[in-house]
């Protein structure tokens, strides 16, 4: 069964540093997403990406965040200057007619 | 925007017991998914169910779209069923984003 692959599984970074979270979505899916889950809370939508551009973004997705699909397979989320409150599990997902498939997540810890 | 409410927030069962988890949503949705988040944080897709009933082993789900709710049934629960169960509504129009409920934390004791 096709999978969404995320790397790394866990990343620790110092406050103010840039991080790039990587994802390989399912290739024939059309919509790609990033979601975030702060520990113990619900999963929240960050951004959707369709046809090589952002189709919708949430209030959380401010100027510190950016997404790219640089080579037609990888899908990245960049946080330019991390803050303590960016510590969370970040999920990549892709969508087709049978529903969403989520990656296993990247746990980001900002210290 | 759409609101998704889940109940109960916490549920403790003895192994072998049955349970029903509920999800209410405030507006019409394109679809409804149930997920199990395991202790490692992974979101496992259980059902993609816009309406009707589906079954997969000991789990089944029913969505009544006209009344804006969905139910997840777990029969003969096992300790490995422990974790958090989320329902998420796929919004109409726009980018097909998911709006999650706060989840039901299930603990199955041996």
| Residue to test with chain A: of B41, B45, B91, B93, most A Cβ within 10 A | B41
Beta bridge mates, B68 = none
Q: How many CA atoms lie within 13 A of A70 on its CB side?
A: 8
**Rounded (10°) CA dihedral B81, B59, A29, A10:** 0
B45 touches chain A (CB under 8 A): yes
Expressed as residue numbers, the domain containing B46 is 4-109
Nearest to B96 among A31, A102, A107 (CB): A31
A95 touches chain B (CB under 8 A): yes
Parallel, antiparallel or unpaired: strands B10-14 and B104-109: parallel
Chain B hits for A98, CB-CB cut-off 8 Å, are 48
CA dist., res. B18 & res. B6, Å (int): 18
Question: Strands, DSSP E only, in chain A?
Answer: 5-7, 10-13, 19-24, 31-37, 43-50, 53-57, 65-68, 75-79, 88-96, 99-102, 106-110
pLDDT of A30 above 90? no
A11 touches chain B (CB under 8 A): no
CA dist., res. B17 & res. A12, Å (int): 40
pLDDT 10s digit of each residue in chain B, 110 long?
Answer: 889 999 999 999 999 999 999 999 998 888 899 999 988 888 999 999 999 999 999 999 999 999 999 999 999 999 999 999 999 998 877 678 899 999 999 999 99
- Give burial (CB, 10 Å; 0-12/13-18/19+) of A75: buried
Three-state secondary structure call for residue B81 = helix
CA dist., res. B1 & res. A103, Å (int): 26
pLDDT of A93 above 80? yes
Domains and CATH numbers, chain A: 17-96 (2.60.40.10)
Nearest CA distance, A41 vs chain B (angstrom): 7
Output the pLDDT for position A26. 86
Q: Count how many domains chain B has.
A: 1
Nearest CA distance, A37 vs chain B (angstrom): 10
Nearest to B45 among A55, A91, A99 (CB): A99
Nearest CA distance, B2 vs chain A (angstrom): 13
Chain B hits for A108, CB-CB cut-off 8 Å, are none
**What CATH number does residue B21 fall under?**
2.60.40.10
């Amino acid at each position: 069964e096709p999978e969404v692959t995320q790397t790394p599984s866990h990343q620790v970074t110092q406050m103010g540093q840039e991080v790039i979270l990587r994802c390989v979505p399912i290739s024939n899916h059309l919509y790609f997403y990033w979601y975030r889950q702060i520990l113990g809370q619900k999963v929240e939508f960050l951004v959707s990406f369709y046809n090589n551009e952002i189709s919708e973004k949430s209030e959380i997705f401010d100027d510190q965040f950016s997404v790219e699909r640089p080579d037609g397979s990888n899908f990245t989320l960049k946080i330019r200057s991390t803050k303590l409150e960016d510590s969370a599990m970040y999920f990549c997902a892709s969508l087709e007619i049978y529903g969403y498939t989520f990656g296993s997540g990247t746990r980001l810890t900002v210290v | 925007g759409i609101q998704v409410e889940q109940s109960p927030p916490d549920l403790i069962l003895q192994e072998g017991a049955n349970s029903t988890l509920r999800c209410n949503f405030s507006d019409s949705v394109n679809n409804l998914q149930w997920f199990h988040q395991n202790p490692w944080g992974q979101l496992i897709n259980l059902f993609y169910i816009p309406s009707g009933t589906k079954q997969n082993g000991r789990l089944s789900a029913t969505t009544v779209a006209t009344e804006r709710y969905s139910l997840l049934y777990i029969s003969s629960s096992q300790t490995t069923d422990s974790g958090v169960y989320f329902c998420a509504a796929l919004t109409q129009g726009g980018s097909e984003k998911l709006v999650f409920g706060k989840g039901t934390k299930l603990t199955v004791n041996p």
